[in-house]
Structure 1
Amino acid sequence: MNRSFRSPCLVLLALVLTVSIQACAAKGPSVELKGQTYSIEIADNDASREHGLMDRTEMAADHGMLFVFQDDTPRAFWMKNTKIPLDMLFFDADRRLVSVQHNVPPCTADPCPAYSSGAPARYVLELNGGQASKLGLAPGDEMQIHR
C-alpha cells in the first residue's frame, strides 16, 4: 500500500472509532416498547423515586423515567408538583405491561389523587401523556430495558 494513502486512511479510521465510542458512551439507559426507543432516567432509590419528574415543565418526546422497585406489589403514584401530563405504565417482574394510567393531568388539588397499578408491579415507566395510546400498548406487551 502506498504510504501517502495509508496515513489519511489511518486518520479516518481513528476518527470513526472515536465517534463510535463517544456515541455508545453518550447513549445511556433506554427502554424499548413496540420498536420505539425512549431514553430514560432511572429512579431506583427512595430519594429519586420520591422526586420523580416533579417540577419539570417539559420532557422530550423520546424521553421518560423508569421507576425500579425490589419487589412486586400494587403501586400507586401521584402527580404532586408534576407540571406535565404523563402516561404511567406499570410492568411486572417479567417486564410485561400490567396496566396503564393514560394522560394523567398535573395535580391542581391538595391532596393529589393517586393512580394505581391495579395489580402487582415492579417497574413504572412515565412517558409524556398520549405515548401509550400512540404505541397502541396493551396488557402483556413487553418492555426491554437497555442500561
Structure 2
Amino acid sequence: MHRTISPLDMIFLREGRVIAIEAAAQPCPRLPCRSYGPREPSDGVVELDAGEAARLGIAVGSPAPILWLRPRDTP
C-alpha cells in the first residue's frame, strides 16, 4: 500500500474463490508499511475502491472466476 492514493478493498483469491478480504486497507505514506494478506496461500488478488466489495456483495467463499479477454480482431 506504499504510495497508494486512497484506501482499497483487497480481495485474495485461490482457485477461483475468495479466501480473504482486507476491507479499506489504508495507504502507507512512508516505509515500512504493514503487510496484508491471508495466512494461507493465495494465487491472486483484486484491488477495488474501499467499500466496493461490500457494495457488490463479495464475501469469503464467493466465486471469483477470472475470464481472460481476447483482443478484438482488427479489420
When normalised by structure 2's length, the TM-score is 0.80
Is the Cα–Cα contact under 8 Å of residues 99 and 139 in structure 1 kept in the other structure? yes
Distance 1:96 1:116 in 2: 15
Which structure 1 segments of 5+ residues have no match? 1-78
Instruction: Determine which of 84, 107, 118 is the counterpart of 2:6.
Output: 84
Q: Determine the C-alpha separation between the residues in 1 that align with 2:37 and 2:44.
A: 13
**Which of the two has higher C-alpha Rg?**
1
Structure 1 residue 109, shift from structure 2 partner: 4.0
More strand by share: 1
Asked whether the 8 Å contact 2:3–2:30 carries over to 1, the reply is: no
Q: For residue 137 of structure 1, what is the aligned residue in structure 2?
A: 58
RMSD, aligned α-carbons: 1.3
Q: TM-score, normalised by structure 1?
A: 0.43
Q: For 2:37 and 2:23, how far apart are their aligned partners in 1?
A: 11
Secondary structure of the residue that 2:24 maps to in structure 1? strand
Residue in 2 that maps onto 1:106: 27
The higher-RCO structure (CA 8 Å, 6+ apart) is: 2
The CA distance in 1 between the partners of 2:47 and 2:36, in whole Å, is 12
Q: Give the Cα–Cα distance (whole angstroms) in 2 for the partners of residues 131 and 144 of structure 1.
A: 17
CA contact (8 A) 2:17 2:65 kept: no
SS at match of 2:55: helix
Aligned-pair identity in percent equals 35
Separation in structure 2 between the aligned mates of residue 129 and residue 82 of structure 1, nearest angstrom: 12
Is 1:97 matched up with 2:26?
no
| CA distance in structure 2 between the aligned counterparts of 1:109 and 1:97, rounded to whole angstroms | 29
- The structure with the largest helix share of the pair is 1
Runs (5+) with no aligned partner, structure 2: 69-75
Write the distance in 1 (CA, Å) between the matches of 2:58 and 2:48.
13
